[in-house]
Amino acid sequence: MKTGLDFLLAAKRCEIDGLQRLAFTATLVDVSARLVHQLQRERGLTNLYLGSMGQRFAEARAAQIGASRQVEAEWRAQFGRVDTGTAQAGHGARLFSRIAYVLQGLDGLDALRGQLDAQAWDTDRATEAYARLVAALLAVVFEAADSATDPEVSRRLVALFNFIQGKEFAGQERAVGAALFARGQSDSARQQRLLHLIESQERCLELFDSVAPPTARALWTAPHSSAPLAELERLRRVLYTAPHGAALRPELSQAWFDVCSARMDAMKLVEDRLTADLRALCGEKIAQAQAELASFGALSAQAAPDPLVFYLAPADPNGPAAPGATQGFALPLDRSVLELVHDQARRLQAMGDELEAVRASLNERRLIERAKGLLMAHRQLSEAEAHKTLRQMAMNQNRRLVDVAEALLSMAEVLPPR
């Protein structure tokens, strides 16, 4: 027969198990972010290569493909360690499904490179192909953030997700700009696309800023991080102010690529800091939870308290948590199992509430993305146009973007199938 203490201990072990899973997830997120970084470089160099009609950048591109392959092997090895035997419920299914999708993309990567070697695809198609694979990798990071069971870890994952997503928009900007310079001719459609990418970038970085821990934010706003920005803004100006069809100096393509890359490398450092901090945080939390578990274990030797205490105690476990309750960890000397059960219930409740709040921001993002996807599919819009349409609707109706997205999605069923 199991006792209350057995379940108290089991609840704590569940927490520890969740944290250990998160610590492993953090390593998966880390290697995914690194693979994204390599693919972004490969995309940029491929666009330079394609833009120069295969005349330049072949060597740099080949070297980069080697580097990408190395991190891809690492990614496959890390994800090969994922325990697909013992099933996890719910989010596990979603995460696995995202991983399966990434693997489809990685399996086709060499075939894609073959097409690009032969210059069979243009820069737009190349950019879109790499963006698709990067988006698949980002979806893995998104699910990791969404499935985290600890609110503090979840918040860090949300910060990281937004930062990587912002960096991806910066990467697409690099690719589109590189293609423009390399072609040597301005183009108003691509100028529009660049504006959209810059705006999306800034939106992600604002979200990052609102949830990131101070250390990572400080690193991102430090002078060496923002230094490339002045030169980047100068070249951005060159790109935007050129009228449609005007000549662009192809020799600027290298400068553009370099300054964009310097900025993205600075972003990579912030990412590295975020993932390292995340792993450290998981480690601390596991150690703390294990210390709590050990101290609970000592309780079993204690004499049973007054059996009536359950019916006499004034507190109720559904009541509001005491301030700092999520911090937890008071040594349970001379405390009854009932008090510990109350404390644990309060703390879990407070954690659940906090988690709910963090996940709400992810859910908003998901709704907006899906509403955009719906507009793109049904009205044949580009992503930039879909985003603009959604924003315009929100302004006209004086509603939040997420509310407009939700209203749009609720109409999805009555729209004709695409």
Q: For the segment 339-378, give every residue that binds its own copies (CB under 8 A).
A: 341-342, 344-345, 348-349, 352, 356, 363, 366, 369-370, 373-374, 377
Residues between 18 and 57 that touch its own copies (CB under 8 A): 18, 21
Can you tell me which of 316, 327, 379, 395 binds its own copies, judged by CB under 8 A? Answer: 316
Per CB under 8 A, contacts with its own copies among 378-417 are 409, 412-413, 417
Minimum CB separation from its own copies for residue 409, in Å?
A: 7
Considering only residues 218, 310, 330, 331, which one is a binding residue for its own copies as defined by CB under 8 A? 310
Among 27, 149, 290, 302, binds its own copies (CB under 8 A): 149
**Rounded CA separation 186/184 (Å):** 7
Report the distance separating Cα 122 and Cα 129, nearest Å.
11
For its own copies, give the closer residue by CB, 130 or 220. 130
CB of 250 to its own copies, least distance (A): 27
Interface residue with its own copies, options 311, 333, 334, 416 (CB under 8 A): 311
Q: How is residue 247 annotated by DSSP?
A: B
Are 106 and 133 contacting, i.e. CB atoms less than 8 angstroms apart? yes
For residues 316 and 321, what is the distance between their CA atoms, to the nearest angstrom? 10
Q: Which stretch binds its own copies (CB under 8 A): 177-185, 198-206, 237-245, 314-322?
A: 314-322
- Select the span of 95-103, 211-219, 325-333, 397-405 touching its own copies (CB under 8 A): 95-103
Least distance in angstroms from the C-beta of 274 to its own copies:
22
Which residue in the block uniquely carries the two structure tokens 């499935």? 147
Q: 112 or 266: whose CB is closer to its own copies? A: 112
Question: Applying CB under 8 A, does 6 fall inside the site for its own copies?
Answer: yes
Residue 10 as a binder of its own copies (CB under 8 A): the answer is yes
Cα pseudo-dihedral 74, 76, 79, 83, rounded to 10: -120
Show the tokens assigned to 230.
Answer: 């002045």
Written as six digits, the tokens of 321 are 């948590």
d(CA 25, CA 165): 18
Question: Three-class SS of residue 112?
Answer: helix
Would you say 38 or 186 has its CB closer to its own copies?
38
Alpha-carbon gap, residue 283 to 286, rounded angstroms: 5
Match 């491929």 to its residue by tokens.
46
Which lies closer to its own copies via its Cβ, residue 81 or residue 230? 81
Sign of CA dihedral 245, 249, 251, 253: negative
Give the C-alpha separation, 38 to 264, whole Å: 11
- The packing angle between helices 151-183 and 252-297, to 10°, is 170
Contact segment (CB under 8 A) with its own copies among 62-70, 160-168, 183-191, 303-311 equals: 303-311
Our CB check for its own copies shows the closer of 309 and 331 to be: 309
Selected from 12, 41, 61, 193, the binder of its own copies by CB under 8 A is 12
Q: Does 93 bind its own copies (CB under 8 A)?
A: yes
Question: Nearest 5°: phi and psi at 185?
Answer: -145, 135
Closest distance of CB 28 from its own copies, Å: 12
| Per-residue exposure over 172-200, b if at least 16 CB sit within 10 Å of its own CB, e if not | bbbbbbbbbbbbbebbeebbebbebbbeb
Task: Please pick, from the candidates 56, 72, 79, 302, the single residue that binds its own copies as defined by CB under 8 A.
Answer: 79
d(CA 170, CA 66): 23
Residue among 37, 41, 98, 183 that touches its own copies (CB under 8 A): 98
Q: Which of 35, 99, 175, 180 binds its own copies (CB under 8 A)?
A: 99
Q: Total binding residues for its own copies by CB under 8 A? A: 88
**Binder to its own copies among 80, 223, 243, 416 (CB under 8 A)?**
80
| Contact status: 297 vs its own copies (CB under 8 A) | no
Establish if 328 lies at the interface with its own copies (CB under 8 A).
Answer: no
CA-nearest of 68, 12, 27, 80 to 44 is 68
List Cα–Cα distances, 146 to 14, 271, 334, in angstroms.
18, 18, 38
